[in-house]
């Protein structure tokens, strides 16, 4: 695995060919890479018109061969050669770091990161660093940006997770929680909030007085919900106390949605819930 903390370009001077090849290699999750479409083409696109100034194919081939000597890549001899001069194998295999050789990883941890993440555990266990590297870099970049320009509107956890990792469920997963604990970063640090699961409800338009608790009726059955909605809306049914919010429980779904109530009646001083439905094992869960 390559470790390099240089920027891709410094002014108008292109970075070394090998440095950017390392960047491309690191970005691939696959262990088997084609010399052209997986390595050369991304490098050439990045250099664009400066490809020849950077040495072109000859510099590219020399860098690939150097990475082979450094045991970063291994040519797959059975794949054949590309027919160019100097020749390269058609396929290369990414090699893992040698056992115990984590000096480059430690150097990167110490020199690259500028945010308040605590990476001491990765210094103590550098063998864990490589598989978290891309996510750690993304979090580090976000924390620095957020410190300089705090976002006016926070994203949901899933939105922030997708932006940082490409997977919307990662931050809310067990692995995501463990990683955040490990680097001592919270969801608040990442400027994101959990999005409560919404539920079906109907507001009765009953005025909510200042410092008054909202009365909420949770109905388990969908047909009963619609009947009560009609009767209450038509003024043909009176309850004591009067109901501010009629909620369709939708089986077990409501159990993961209670926090959504704060978005339905944000001005309430508190909430009192009533339940209409089966008091079997399923219905009893609402009362816990």
Structural domains in the chain plus CATH codes: 9-94 (1.10.10), 103-193 (no CATH), 201-287 (no CATH)
* Structure confidence by residue, pLDDT tens digits, 185-198: 999 999 998 877 77
Q: How far apart are the first and last CA of the chain?
A: 52
Asked whether the predicted pLDDT for residue 31 surpasses 90, the reply is no
Residues above pLDDT 90, as percent of the chain: 35
Residues above pLDDT 70, as percent of the chain: 87
User: Contact 243/225 with Cβ under 8 angstroms?
Assistant: no
State the DSSP code for 185: -
Mean pLDDT, rounded, for 105-112: 88
Residue 6 has a pLDDT of: 41
pTM over 0.75: no
Mean pLDDT, rounded, for 265-284: 71
Residue 234 CA to residue 277 CA, distance in Å, equals: 22
Residue 7 has a pLDDT of: 37
Residue 3 has a pLDDT of: 54
Residue 159 has a pLDDT of: 93
The chain-wide mean pLDDT, for the chain, equals 83
Considering only residues 118 and 263, tell me which one the structure prediction assigns the higher pLDDT.
118
* Structure confidence by residue, pLDDT tens digits, 70-99: 888 999 999 999 999 999 999 999 887 665
> Residue 152: is it exposed, middle or buried by C-beta count within 10 angstroms (0-12/13-18/19+)?
exposed
- In order of 172, 182, 187, 196, the CA distances from 158 in angstroms are 7, 20, 11, 11
Residue 230 has a pLDDT of: 87
CA atoms within 13 Å, Cβ hemisphere of 115: 21
Mean pLDDT, rounded, for 222-240: 88
* 43-47 CB contacts, 8 Å cutoff, 24+ apart: 43/17, 46/8, 46/20, 47/14, 47/20
Asked whether the predicted pLDDT for residue 282 surpasses 70, the reply is no
Residue 15 CA to residue 34 CA, distance in Å, equals: 22
Considering only residues 134 and 30, tell me which one the structure prediction assigns the higher pLDDT.
134
Asked whether the predicted pLDDT for residue 145 surpasses 90, the reply is yes
Q: The sheet that has 32-34: what strands, in order across it?
A: 32-34, 91-94, 73-75
State the DSSP code for 171: T
Residue 13 has a pLDDT of: 33
CA angle 42, 105, 125 (to 5 degrees): 130
Mean pLDDT, rounded, for 267-280: 77
Element (H, E) at 263: helix 261-264
Task: Give the β-pairing of 213-219 and 201-203.
Answer: unpaired
């Amino acid at each position: 695995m390559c470790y390099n903390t240089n920027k891709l370009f410094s002014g108008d001077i292109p970075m070394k060919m090998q440095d950017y090849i390392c960047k491309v290699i690191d970005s691939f999750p696959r262990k088997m890479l084609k010399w052209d479409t997986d390595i050369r083409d991304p490098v050439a696109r990045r250099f664009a018109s400066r490809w020849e100034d950077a040495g072109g194919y000859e510099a590219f081939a020399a860098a690939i061969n150097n990475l082979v000597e450094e045991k970063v890549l291994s040519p797959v001899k059975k794949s054949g050669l590309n027919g160019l001069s100097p020749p390269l194998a058609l396929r290369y295999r990414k090699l893992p770091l040698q056992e115990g050789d984590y000096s480059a990883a430690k150097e990167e941890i110490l020199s690259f990161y500028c945010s308040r993440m605590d990476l001491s555990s990765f210094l103590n266990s550098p063998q864990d660093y490589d598989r978290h590297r891309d996510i750690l870099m993304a979090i580090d970049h976000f924390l620095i940006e957020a410190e300089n320009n705090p976002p006016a509107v926070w994203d949901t956890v899933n939105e922030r997770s997708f932006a940082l990792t490409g997977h919307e469920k990662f931050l809310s997963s067990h692995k995501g929680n463990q990683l955040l604990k490990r680097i001592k970063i919270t969801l608040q640090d990442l400027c994101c909030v959990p999005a409560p699961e919404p539920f079906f409800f109907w507001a009765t338009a009953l005025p909510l007085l200042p410092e008054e608790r909202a009365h909420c009726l949770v109905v388990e059955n969908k047909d009963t919900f619609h009947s009560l909605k009609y009767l209450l809306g038509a003024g043909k049914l009176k309850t004591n106390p009067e109901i501010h919010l009629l909620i369709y429980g939708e089986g077990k779904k409501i159990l993961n949605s209670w926090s959504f109530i704060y978005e339905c009646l944000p001005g309430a001083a508190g909430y009192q819930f009533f339940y209409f439905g089966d008091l079997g094992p399923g219905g009893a869960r609402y009362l816990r």
